[in-house]
Copies of this chain bind each other. A is one copy, B any other.
Amino acid sequence: MSPKTRNVTQKEIARLAGVSQTTVSMVLNDRDGSNVRIPAATRERVKQAIEQSTYVADPAARRLAGLDNRIMGVFTYEPALSPESMDFYGPLLNGIERAAEEVGCDLLFFTSSPVEDGRRTLFHRKTRLRLADGCILLGQNMDGDDLKRLVDERFPFVAVGRRDETTARVPYVGIDYVSLTAELIRRASELGHREGIYVHRDRNSPTARDRRGQIVTTNESGDIRFTLLAIEENDVSSVVDTLASTGATVVFAEDTFLAEDVALAFIAAGIDVPRRVSLASLAEVRGHRIAGCALTGFQTPRQQIAAEALNLLQRLVITPAEQWSDLDTQLLLDGKLEFGETLVPPDSAS
């Protein structure tokens, strides 16, 4: 099958240098401890021989002999390198690549995973997972069972984005949306807003709950009174009525697509954004514009998240599983408020 061009091995180097294969291995790995002390002379001889050959250690053999491989897996449920997904994955992959360079490991993309129902399967008869020392999981939504099984099997992995699809304690690196949401609310409050609407999709993901929770908390403390408006599909039409009935001066939307839809609904109804009503997205806005104004929202450090994920993974890999509980395996990074131009004082129209 494989041509497997016969490569130079330690054995041959040993023959050339007139030493044993063990010695070659020792020299190669700088094993020079209490029990082993190789004189500079032989050491040099071996190095010479290596230099003159094209010798390169066979990573498969190293791996089999118990060393780690410095290979980190990257798993995505969809193709990660397609033009469509680049918008989402691009910054993440970049962060991972940079961190990998620093850590000094290679990246294995599991492109061979069989596709079922349009999604790649992580576990299957011939999972390649174990070729890697550990694995980064990327994707908008992940399979709870997969996460659980990874935890159960004590395979080192880190999810990008906060995860609690399962009761198992999933290592992840995500964004602290609670603080971001709180800060945005504070800013709105400072500007004088007292009555708001929170438009959301009524999802049950961790980040959705984080945001909603903070909105609810605010309602209890009372800075701004929020009406929660759960919408189905993308039908945001009800927001116009709600605006009228509540007299709200500001609308927060769970994500940027939603914010955009809300803006369109307002504009269609002849309601001026942001003068009659302020608008903000509780998500990455990345230069989004609404009626010519930069949308207010968050800036999430995606590259950094991904890089931190790889670093955390590295820590897991070099730590025996029994001590994982000592590690901080659920990290939330700070995002930044992107103030934009769509959050203005109420009654800016008059």
- Taking Cβ atoms with an 8 Å cutoff, the residues of A that contact B are 1-5, 7, 54, 56-61, 63-64, 66-71, 79-83, 86, 90-91, 93-94, 96-98, 100-101, 104-112, 115, 123, 125-131, 133, 149, 153-156, 317-321
- The answer to whether A5 and B98 have CB atoms under 8 Å apart is no
- The answer to whether A111 and B101 have CB atoms under 8 Å apart is yes
- The answer to whether A79 and B61 have CB atoms under 8 Å apart is no
**Within the assembled complex, what's the spacing in Å between the Cα atoms of A83 and B339?**
24
**Contacts A1-B68, A56-B129; A109 near B97 (Cβ below 8 A):** yes
Closest CB of chain B to A121's CB: distance in Å?
13
Q: Which residues of B contact A111 (CB under 8 A)?
A: 97, 100-101, 105-107
Q: Which residues of B contact A58 (CB under 8 A)?
A: 64, 130
- The answer to whether A79 and B97 have CB atoms under 8 Å apart is yes
A100-B112, A107-B108 given. 18 additional CB < 8 A pairs?
A: A1-B66, A1-B318, A2-B66, A2-B67, A3-B321, A5-B154, A5-B155, A56-B126, A59-B131, A60-B61, A60-B130, A71-B108, A79-B98, A79-B101, A82-B97, A101-B111, A101-B112, A106-B109
Q: Which residues of B contact A110 (CB under 8 A)?
A: 106
9 A-B pairs within 8 Å (CB atoms) are namely A2-B66, A2-B69, A60-B69, A81-B94, A86-B90, A105-B111, A105-B112, A106-B110, A106-B128
Q: Which residues of B contact A3 (CB under 8 A)?
A: 154, 156, 317, 319-321
Give the residue of B57, B68, B81, B133 whose beta carbon is less than 8 angstroms from that of A96: B81
Q: Which residues of B contact A149 (CB under 8 A)?
A: 54
**Within the assembled complex, what's the spacing in Å between the Cα atoms of A83 and B86?**
10
Closest 5 CB pairs of A and B: A2-B68, A60-B63, A100-B111, A81-B97, A59-B131
**Within the assembled complex, what's the spacing in Å between the Cα atoms of A156 and B7?**
13
Closest CB of chain B to A334's CB: distance in Å?
22
Closest CB of chain B to A327's CB: distance in Å?
12
- The answer to whether A2 and B133 have CB atoms under 8 Å apart is yes
- The answer to whether A153 and B5 have CB atoms under 8 Å apart is yes
Q: Which residues of B contact A86 (CB under 8 A)?
A: 86, 90
Q: Which residues of B contact A115 (CB under 8 A)?
A: 101
Q: Which residues of B contact A63 (CB under 8 A)?
A: 60
